[in-house]
Amino acid sequence: MSLPLVIDYEHGISAIDAQFHRPKRAAIHLIAEKGVAALVDTGTSFSIPGVAAALEQKSIPAEAVAYVILTHIHLDHAGGASECMRLFPNAKLVVHPRGASHMANPARLVAGAVGVYGEAEFKRVYGEIYPIDAGRIIEAPDESRIDLNGRSLLFLDTPGHARHHNCIYDERSQSFFTGDTFGVSYREFDVDGLEFVIPTTSPVQFDPAAAHASIDRIMGYQPRYAYLTHYSQIGHLARHAQSLHDLLDAHVEIAQRAKNEEDRQTVIASALRELFLQRLEKHGCRLPLDATDELLRSDIRLNAQGLIHWLDQPAERFKQL
């Protein structure tokens, strides 16, 4: 197994590339504390040989992985969980209470994804997903903590992108592992060290009010950095929080404007593309248009799908879920 891209930060934090679709699309974060390790998110089952190789390179034995933490159970984050449990014999899986049963019995999760992608494409992108022994699963409700060899990790329930989403505050680095709650930020869009961040409103649980509240809750801790699954460390968080709030409002406005259009997917996707291109120009991004489109295509498609799903939720039912 060749070594995937690995970026090392302070405080024993590293990003290991999940090799999901393209390099620097999805990261698996490693937190190493005096010889004991935790992983935050797993990529897919195809990402895990690369993780094992990266750990070996760092002289961290498989037995030293104490926790595999999932920010949420979307399959680009959780698809590699069962393979992790196989390779890391002492690891416990730490997951939001709403996600735990799906990890013990992934049939519904897999069926949902197969419904979207088709059997062959699902197998190609995600591989095999096996049930995980319930005895190895730790549910992490709001404000619970785990102890990583003396290092305290605090779990916050942060809905908005998904209702089974935790963000993890690491007191040592005063930073958050934010999964998808603090948006996505591809390093290719960095200009003079300043990042470009967009929200992710993918199906099927996007909830704008909750998304705003979760961003504010994260910022309440005045974190130094956020480690995004897509893609790793960003600073300038106050500035990005403001822009996420603003872009979330723009997403909702675009969706509502397209409510009665015949082809909402196309109308919303092209409005989102315009929005992002405008913001990228302001940001000073000089990437050629085709490269920009390539980087944003799948997020635009998913954001549009999630907005349509949100539009179609009867208000009353949505409240009860």
* Least gap, CB of 251 to Zn ion (angstroms): 15
Residue 299 interacts with Zn ion (CB under 5 A): yes or no: no
Quick check: 180 binds Zn ion (CB under 5 A)? yes
Q: What is the secondary structure of 274-291 as a DSSP string? A: HHHHHHHHHHT----HHH
**Backbone φ, ψ for residue 89 (5° rounding):** -65, -20
Q: Which is nearer to Zn ion, 83 or 299 (CB)?
A: 299
**Residues of span 45-64 touching Zn ion by CB under 5 A:** none
Nearer Cβ to Zn ion, position 74 or 98?
Answer: 74
Question: For strand 27-33 and strand 36-40, is the pairing parallel, antiparallel, or unpaired?
Answer: antiparallel
Task: Give the Cα separation of 222 and 224 in Å (integer).
Answer: 7
Helix H or strand E segment including 7: strand 6-8
Minimum CB separation of residue 162 from Zn ion in Å reads: 6
Among residue numbers 1 through 30, which ones bind Zn ion (CB under 5 A)?
none
Among 43-51, 73-81, 130-138, 287-295, the segment contacting Zn ion (CB under 5 A): 73-81
Site for Zn ion in 182-211 (CB under 5 A): none
- Looking at the Cβ atoms of 74 and 96, the one nearer to Zn ion is 74
Residue 302 C-beta: closest distance to Zn ion, Å:
9
Q: Is the dihedral of CA 67, 73, 74, 79 positive or negative?
A: positive
Where does this chain touch Zn ion (CB under 5 A) — which range of 25-33, 83-91, 174-182, 231-239?
Answer: 174-182
Of residues 202 and 233, the one with the C-beta less far from Zn ion: 202
Q: Note if the bond before 225 is cis, omega within 30 degrees.
A: no
Is residue 264 a contact residue for Zn ion (CB under 5 A)?
A: no
E strands within 47-135?
A: 65-69, 92-95
d(CA 198, CA 65): 32
Interface segment toward Zn ion; rule CB under 5 A; list 8-16, 66-74, 134-142, 242-250: 66-74
CB atoms within 10 A of CB 227: 28
The single residue among 24, 29, 74, 251 that binds Zn ion, judged by CB under 5 A, is 74
Residue 150: both structure tokens together: 């003396």
Tally of CB atoms within 10 A around 250: 17
Question: Closer to Zn ion at the Cβ: 14 or 178?
Answer: 178
List interacting residues with Zn ion (CB under 5 A): 74, 180
